[in-house]
Structure formats: structure tokens, C-alpha cells
Amino acid sequence: MKNIQLGQSDLQVTPICLGTMTFGEQVSEAASHVILDRALERGINFLDTAEMYSVPAKAETFNVTEKILGNWFTANPGVRQKMVVATKVAGPARGMDWVRGGSLNLTPADIQEACEGSLRRLQTDVIDLYQIHWPVRHVPAFGIRYFDPSKDNPEMSSIHDQLDALGRLVKAGKVRAIGLSNETPYGVHEFVRLAEQHGLPRIATVQNPYCLINRTLENGLDETMHRLGVSLLAYSPLGFGLLTGKYDESGITGPKAPGQARIAKYDSVRQQRWGRPDALVAARKYNALAKQHGLTPTQMALAFCYTKWQVASTIIGVTSVAQLDEDLDAWGTTLSPELLKAIDDIRREIQDPAI
């Protein structure tokens, strides 16, 4: 696979990124290092993490994933220089009182302090891509379907203030490029507009969900990003496991459900968009379609992301080397025009149940 450029930055990354939010919760540090070794061996140069990780988020594992990565870099001299490392500053705490005391804001000082903490934990001098994990303002995300202007709070940090803080980190050499996550077309436009107006760094990426059961990106955000030269980092390409087929027979709860899988194991995850009954109904349709065309559900779901023009790099999350190899082996799988039409036919029927 050839490296691709992220936005208008100088970052060159593989079109598959290893996401690490399972490290420190489902995956031990030792096992995490084995997975990282294998990803490096197979040519992956792009890692994504966050100060909030592991997931599901809790006080006991806050910051742990970054520490695991930092320890891996230290144990393997020279490896850090081969990798492009992305991390994120958590947005408003959203019920997590261990994140900046549960603050509902994200101030410039918060961004500065969070970056310094990530640098220490990652045991590095610079973060290649620093992202705002979710917006400070109210947006339709994480299962919220509609924008509600009554929930706007003018006392929260403005986009300009956030961008200015990120700009200071870039100027200081602590961050190479910046990005957003869980964003909307408005947010992308505004970050770009203010960057151009005030001579501040331009966002290179947006990290949003994109998979067969959540294609809301294609409702306008994809055009915004294309025309503004911003790259998509697609997360949850397997719909939190629903698109692997492992829940097709058992469902996500009950005695036959795979107990160690995230959506089955963690109630907090199951209550989110991926745990909706209609999301599993939709996944079953796509999984059956894959098998009809001689593919595994995982192959089809990943190939959908790997081959779409909207996607710069697809973030895969794994709990074993076997899963990593399966996901990487799906690279190069092509989907016929007939299969793509059948995929679109299902979407017309069921829309985006895991929004």
C-alpha cells in the first residue's frame, strides 16, 4: 500500500491506521506491544490514540493507552521516528469527572496542558497529528440526531480560541498538524475559514465514524471535506464488530453472545448507537450480502472503506494479532459495481441506523 498525504499537511501515512483504544482495557500492555510489533512488521506507520483511552472510558484507565505506546517507543529505539502518531484532547467532559474535573468547557489552557501531558505519556518531543476529540459546542453526534440551538452556550471557548491554542502548539514545535473528530460540515468550514482569516494552522483531518451502518458522512460532510482539502480518518469501519458477522446468530446479549467482545461485554458501549436493535438488523443484511458474493463480512465492510474516495485512512481496532492480520489481509479486496449497487439498495431501505 502506498502512503497518502493528510490534507495539506506534510504528513504521509499508510491508508490503514492502527487504532489503540482497546490497549489497557481489553488488551494488556504486553499483548499491545506484540500487536504494535506486528503492525510495524506489516508496514503500518500510522497510530491513533487519545488522552481519554482506554475505552470504555473510566477513571482507572484514563491516559493508560498513551502510556502503553510511550513505553513501546522507549523499548524499541528508532521506532518512534518511523511512526506517525495521532492523539486527541478530550472535549467537554460529558459526565467524565476525571477529565479536567468534569469541566464542560475546553479552554486554550486546557488544550496546552493536555498536550503537555500527552507528550510526557507518549515519551516523545512532538505529536504528529493533534485532534480535538469532539466539539465544544452542541452537535448531533454520539447518537444525538438533531442540532438543537437552545443547547448552545456562548460562554464556551470559541472555535477561534481553540484554533489559536492549537496554533501556539504548532509554532512551539510540539505539534506538526492538527485535526478534528466527530465534526460537522459547519465545524470544518469554520475551522478552515478562521485559519485562513487569521493565519493559523489549517486542519488536515477529520476523524468521524464511517461504515456500512453509518454513512452519514455522505450527507454533505464528504463534499465539504473534498472541496476544502481535508482528509477523512474513518473510524469504526466494522461497526463495533456488528459487521464481522459474529453477532448474527447470537445477538449482542444473552448466553451465546461472544462475551469478550466490546459491545457484548460493556453495557456503556451497548447503550450507544452500535447497540441499537436496528443496527444489528442492518448489519445482518450486509453480512448476508457479503457471503452471497463470496466474501467474509469483515472483508466486505473493510473493502468498502478501503476503496471509497472519501476515505484517506481507515482506523482499525483489534484485540489480537489474528484480528490485525485479518484486517490487513482485506487490503486489495475490490467490490464489483453490482455489489456496490446492492449495498446502496440496502442503505436506501434502512438508512443509517447507527447514527
- Look at residue 47 and tell me whether its pLDDT is greater than 90: yes
Query: What is the rounded end-to-end Cα distance, in angstroms, of the chain?
Result: 30
Q: Which residue has the cell 528508532?
A: 78
Tell me whether strands 127-132 and 175-181 are parallel, antiparallel or unpaired. parallel
Residue 165 pLDDT: 98
Which three-class secondary structure string do you get for the chain? CCCEECCCCCCEECCEEEECCCECCCECHHHHHHHHHHHHHCCCCEEECCCCCCCCCCHHHCCHHHHHHHHHHHHCCCCHHHCEEEEEECCCCCCCCCCHHHCCCCCHHHHHHHHHHHHHHHCCCCEEEEEECCCCCCCCCCCCCCCCHHHCCCCCCCHHHHHHHHHHHHHCCCEEEEEEECCCHHHHHHHHHHHHHHCCCCEEEEEEECECCECHHHHCHHHHHHHHCCEEEEECCCHHHHHHCCCCCCCCCCCCCCCCCHHHHCHHHHCCHHHCHHHHHHHHHHHHHHHHCCCCHHHHHHHHHHHCCCEEEEEEECCCHHHHHHHHHCCCCCCCHHHHHHHHHHHHHHCCCCC
Q: How much of the chain, in percent, has pLDDT values that exceed 90? A: 88
Question: Among 14-18, 269-273, 294-298, 338-342, which stretch is predicted with the lowest mean pLDDT?
Answer: 269-273
Task: Phi first, then psi: give them for residue 47, nearest 5 degrees.
Answer: -120, 140
For residue 4, give the amino acid letter: I
C-alpha span between 107 and 105 (Å, rounded): 6
Q: What is the pLDDT of residues 181-234, one digit of tens each?
A: 999 999 999 999 999 999 999 999 999 999 999 999 999 999 999 999 999 999
Give pLDDT, residue 268.
62
Q: Which of 310, 309, 308, 300 is nearest to 333 (CA)?
A: 300
Predicted local distance difference test score (pLDDT) of residue 257: 67
In the predicted structure, residue 343 carries a pLDDT above the cut 60 = yes
CA angle, residues 313, 181, 304, in degrees to nearest 5: 35
pLDDT of residue 259 exceeding 70: no
Measured between alpha carbons, how far is 257 from 265 in angstroms, rounded to an integer?
9
Q: Over 90: is that where the pLDDT of 299 sits?
A: yes
Sorted by sequence, the CB contacts under 8 Å of residue 64 that are 6+ apart come out as: 23, 24, 25, 53, 54
Domains in the chain: ranges and CATH? 4-239+309-333 (3.20.20.100)
272 falls in which pLDDT band (50, 70, 90)?
Answer: confident
pLDDT bin (cut points 50, 70, 90) of residue 264 is: low
- CA separation for the pair 302, 330 (Å, rounded): 7
Q: CB-based contacts of 158: which residues, under 8 Å, 6+ apart? A: none
What is the pTM for the complete model shown?
A: 0.96
155, pLDDT greater than 80 = yes
pLDDT bucket at 144, cuts 50 / 70 / 90: confident
pLDDT at 270 over 70: no
Cell readout for 335 is: 467490490
* Surface-to-core class of residue 332, CB atoms within 10 Å of its CB (0-12 exposed, 13-18 middle, 19+ buried): exposed
CB-CB contact of 237 with 263 (8 Å)? no
Mean pLDDT, to the nearest integer, of 141-161?
92
Residue 253 reports pLDDT greater than 80: no
Q: Which residues pair with 214 in a beta bridge?
A: 211
**Per-residue confidence (pLDDT) for residue 325, from 0 to 100:** 98
pLDDT in tens, 79-134: 999 999 999 999 998 889 999 999 999 999 999 999 999 999 999 999 999 999 99
- Which pLDDT belongs to residue 258? 73
User: Band of the pLDDT at 262, cuts 50, 70, 90?
Assistant: low
Question: What average pLDDT does this structure show over 150-177?
Answer: 96
The residues assigned a catalytic role are 53
